[in-house]
Amino acid sequence: MPPICFVSKAAEFAACRHTGMTRKARGNEPYVNHLAEVANILATATGGRDAELIAAGWLHDTIEDTATTQEELAEEFSERVADLVAEVTDDMRLPKSERRRLQVVDSPGKSSSAKLIKIADKISNVRARTHSDPTPDQRVDLTDYVDWAERVVAGCRGNIAELDRMFDDTVKLARSSL
């Protein structure tokens, strides 16, 4: 399958699986916008050279947020895509504080491709929480999220300088909005 068709198939699959879901940090924005942003960040940072990575960007939350299984992703896409999605998937049975702790602890041991997905995901999530005139609650949420995201990304850096710079620029902008 040509790379553009592979990525397009992943986008359609992700959109269908996340139908009706919205983003917490951006009101009623369709959740698929987050998936598109993560995939686009990955495509931009890598020059579009890795269709499986970009597809995994589209699909990175499907196991965590939908009834999709790793086996299904392997059948529909590839073992690598399924493995990458599984590698960045949190165990939703755990409390949020433990999931966050594990992301910080486990990030240095992730594969280089999973680290790229983690950074792109954090960029998107920080952007979603950054407001030009934040309320006090939004300030607290943004500060908490950025502090934690920086700890996760610290274990993911060093693969693509452009992606590291994008994260740093995003955090700088977020902090300036406070």
Contact yes or no for 57/38 (Cβ under 8 A): yes
Cα(125)–Cα(108) distance, integer angstroms: 20
Q: Tell me, yes or no, if 37 is annotated catalytic.
A: no
DSSP 22: B
Widest Cα–Cα separation across the chain: 49
Of 49, 94, 38, which is closest to residue 103 (Cα–Cα)?
94
Domain extents in the chain = 3-176
Query: Is 25 a residue whose pLDDT tops 70?
Result: no
pLDDT in tens, 89-123: 999 999 999 999 999 999 999 999 999 999 999 99
Mind listing the pLDDT tens digit for each residue in 48-77? 999 999 999 999 999 999 999 999 999 999
Q: Which residue is it, tokens 């947020």?
A: 65
- Catalytic residue, from 29, 37, 52, 64: name it: 64
CATH class of 3-176: mainly alpha
Q: Is 64 marked active-site?
A: yes
CB contact set of 25 (below 8 Å; sequence gap of 6+):
125, 128, 129, 141
**Of the residues 12, 37, 52, 65, which is catalytic?**
65
State pTM to two decimals: 0.96
d(CA 38, CA 34) in angstroms, rounded, equals: 6
